[in-house]
């Protein structure tokens, strides 16, 4: 029975697949129904949750950025306020949230990383819901599953930093945007939610404000009457979010030296970004409806938005903005724009769902079984990468591993030095491993001074303390940075060790090195 697609009523039911041109009698390959609306979000969330909980302790390891979270979260709220006044202001809200988590559940590696796991599960669910709104339930389900499987998403789902939470907030903001554009007459609550989600993301990391130009492109691409009113509502919501984040942006400029370590973008990074955007564009150009796929909820082809108009700006624009900013000062780090993976998932999801449906119609396999099989194959194909992400070697260093070496090799009365001073985090996270050792350089502790690494004594005083000890334990990097200028205090430590001490032991452990020195006989 032929149906004119231009005159047929739009079926917005979440459980019915409507062909673009014709409705055919269902054969064996067609007898599959869209999952219930809740399952579209629940299944990707459960997958992301399972992947996040798998190996969450990473072999009982903790790297330097997580060590900063660990230290800050264990301080009182006034102490956190004192800290962010000098360093890590951009992470202030996250430190407060983790302080609450530690207060409720106690400090542990699971408590440190579980908020990120839950945030990525929420992001996968929200991505699925957005995809369902734009291109139907199967497209949404596939988009959520794609996001959960992306290795970069799995990486930061198991990290005690703010980037997973930012991703979840951006996913929520994108959901409010899609709802606001496709149904602008349903009140201003959605735009208020949009402003709140963008502001929350910005307060966790204000680089997330790069999502606003991406969303601006999406709004301008909307095919609907009353676009001016939508633009006004979006502009007002965006202005509220920017105004709320502006004090943080301005205040954090005084701590700009914290990103001075970032190197200019390598050509390999540029190629990787280009390849990802190209892959997303290819997926977004797939003609879903004409491949015998579906309209689904949102009535793709009739909706104000398409998957491409939401996905491609979200994938490409924030990365382009950060790359342009890096021409003035190197700033590009993939985790700062981690949320752009949502755009890739929204582009790939409908294409994957259309392909699965087309194959299912040909080989007469239930589409749900075929999609499950494709997801399992994707997991197995990525298994070597996924296993590596859950090992201690997946991060730059391991604070806890170095602390274990110190506990095994240090003797009561030994002196201990940290080179650079930031490696003192080894002792601050695992103080029991340093029991009986004398910190030869420390003048004021981190908590009292409102810092992460403490304040060290003048060079002359450190030299005197070193010469007063027979054995010194040195905690340093396995491969010291060659591009970083060596401060005079650090150069002095090296000179005294080389001239007056002999190294009798060296142990490297996952990015850090512990050396034991004994005083030379005169």
Q: Do the Cβ atoms of 466 and 460 come closer than 8 Å?
A: no
Taking only the tens place, the pLDDT of each residue in 241-251 is: 999 999 999 99
Cross-strand bridge partners of residue 508: 513
Average pLDDT over residues 472-486: 83
Q: pTM of the predicted model, to two decimals?
A: 0.89
The answer, yes or no, to whether residue 381 has pLDDT greater than 90, is yes
Instruction: Provide the pLDDT for residue 303.
Output: 62
How far is residue 300 CA from its own chain's centroid? 30
Instruction: Provide the pLDDT for residue 21.
Output: 38
Taking only the tens place, the pLDDT of each residue in 68-95 is: 999 999 999 999 999 999 999 999 999 9
Question: What integer best gives the mean pLDDT of the chain?
Answer: 88
Q: Residue 471 CB: number of other CB atoms within 10 A?
A: 18
- What's the CA gap between 188 and 190, in Å, rounded? 5
222 pLDDT tier (thresholds 50, 70, 90): confident
From 30, 137, 136, select the one nearest 362 (Cα to Cα): 30
- What's the CA gap between 240 and 513, in Å, rounded? 48
Taking only the tens place, the pLDDT of each residue in 86-125 is: 999 999 999 999 999 999 999 999 999 999 999 999 999 9
Q: Do the Cβ atoms of 426 and 406 come closer than 8 Å?
A: yes
The answer, yes or no, to whether residue 302 has pLDDT greater than 80, is no
Instruction: Provide the pLDDT for residue 29.
Output: 35
Q: Do the Cβ atoms of 500 and 521 come closer than 8 Å?
A: no
Taking only the tens place, the pLDDT of each residue in 171-221 is: 999 999 999 998 766 668 899 999 999 999 999 999 999 999 999 999 999
Instruction: Provide the pLDDT for residue 352.
Output: 95
Two tokens at 250?
A: 């301005």
How does DSSP assign 329-365, residue by residue?
S----GGGGGGGHHHHHHHHHHHHHHHHHHHHHHHT-
Two tokens at 20?
A: 């673009």
Cis amide bond preceding 59, omega within 30? no
How does DSSP assign 479-492, residue by residue?
S--SSSPPPHHHHH
Average pLDDT over residues 424-431: 96
Percent of the chain past pLDDT 70, that is, above it, reads 88
The residue ranges of every structural domain in the chain are 36-394, 399-519
CA angle 343, 349, 351 (to 5 degrees): 115
User: Quick one: fold of 399-519?
Assistant: Rossmann fold (3.40.50)
* DSSP symbol at 35: P
* DSSP symbol at 2: B
Instruction: Provide the pLDDT for residue 187.
Output: 66
- What's the CA gap between 6 and 149, in Å, rounded? 38
- What's the CA gap between 190 and 169, in Å, rounded? 14
Instruction: Provide the pLDDT for residue 483.
Output: 61
* DSSP symbol at 423: G
What is the DSSP pairing of strand 471-477 with strand 415-419? Answer: parallel
Q: Residue 365 CB: number of other CB atoms within 10 A?
A: 16
């Amino acid at each position: 029975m032929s149906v004119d697609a231009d005159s047929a009523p739009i079926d917005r039911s979440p459980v019915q697949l409507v062909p673009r041109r014709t409705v055919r009698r269902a054969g064996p390959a067609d007898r599959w129904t869209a999952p219930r609306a809740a399952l579209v979000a629940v299944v990707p969330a459960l997958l992301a949750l399972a992947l996040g909980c798998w190996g969450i302790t990473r072999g009982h390891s903790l790297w330097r950025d997580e060590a900063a979270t660990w230290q800050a979260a264990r301080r009182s709220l006034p102490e956190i306020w004192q800290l962010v006044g000098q360093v890590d202001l951009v992470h202030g809200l996250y430190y407060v949230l983790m302080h609450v988590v530690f207060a409720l559940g106690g400090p542990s590696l699971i408590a440190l990383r579980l908020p990120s796991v839950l945030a990525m599960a929420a992001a996968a669910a929200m991505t699925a819901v957005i995809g369902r709104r734009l291109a139907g339930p199967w497209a949404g389900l596939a988009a959520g599953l794609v996001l959960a499987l992306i290795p970069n998403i799995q990486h930061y789902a198991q990290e005690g930093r703010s980037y997973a939470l930012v991703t979840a907030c951006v996913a929520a903001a994108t959901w409010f945007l899609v709802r606001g554009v496709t149904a602008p007459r349903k009140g201003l609550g959605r735009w208020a939610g949009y402003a709140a989600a963008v502001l929350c993301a910005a307060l966790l990391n204000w680089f997330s404000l790069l999502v606003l130009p991406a969303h601006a492109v999406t709004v301008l691409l909307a095919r609907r009457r009353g676009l001016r009113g939508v633009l006004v509502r979006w502009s007002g919501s965006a202005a509220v979010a920017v105004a709320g984040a502006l004090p943080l942006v301005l205040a954090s400029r005084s701590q700009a030296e914290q990103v001075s370590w970032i190197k200019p973008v390598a050509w390999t990074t540029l190629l990787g970004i280009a390849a990802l955007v190209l892959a997303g564009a290819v997926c977004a150009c797939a003609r879903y409806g004409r491949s015998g796929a579906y309209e689904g909820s949102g009535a793709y082809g009739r909706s104000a938005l398409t998957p491409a108009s939401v996905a491609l700006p979200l994938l490409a624009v924030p990365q382009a903005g950060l790359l342009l900013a890096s021409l003035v000062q190197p700033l590009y780090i993939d985790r700062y724009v981690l949320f752009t993976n949502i755009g890739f998932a929204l582009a790939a999801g409908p294409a994957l769902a259309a392909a699965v449906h087309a194959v299912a119609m040909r080989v007469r396999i239930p589409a749900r079984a075929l999609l499950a099989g494709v997801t399992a194959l994707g997991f197995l194909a990525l298994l070597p990468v996924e296993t590596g992400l859950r090992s201690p070697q997946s991060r730059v260093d391991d604070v806890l591993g170095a602390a274990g070496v110190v506990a095994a090799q240090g003797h009561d009365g030994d002196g201990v030095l940290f080179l650079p001073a930031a490696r003192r985090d080894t002792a601050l996270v695992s103080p029991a491993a340093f029991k009986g050792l004398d910190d030869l350089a420390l003048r004021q502790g981190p908590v009292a001074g409102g810092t992460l690494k403490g304040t060290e004594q003048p060079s002359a005083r450190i030299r005197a303390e070193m010469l007063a000890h027979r054995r010194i334990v040195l905690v340093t990097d396995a491969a010291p940075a060659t591009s970083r200028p060596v401060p005079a205090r650090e150069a002095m430590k090296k000179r005294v060790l080389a001239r007056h001490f002999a190294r009798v032991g060296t142990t490297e452990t996952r990015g850090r090195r512990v050396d034991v020195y004994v005083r030379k006989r005169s």
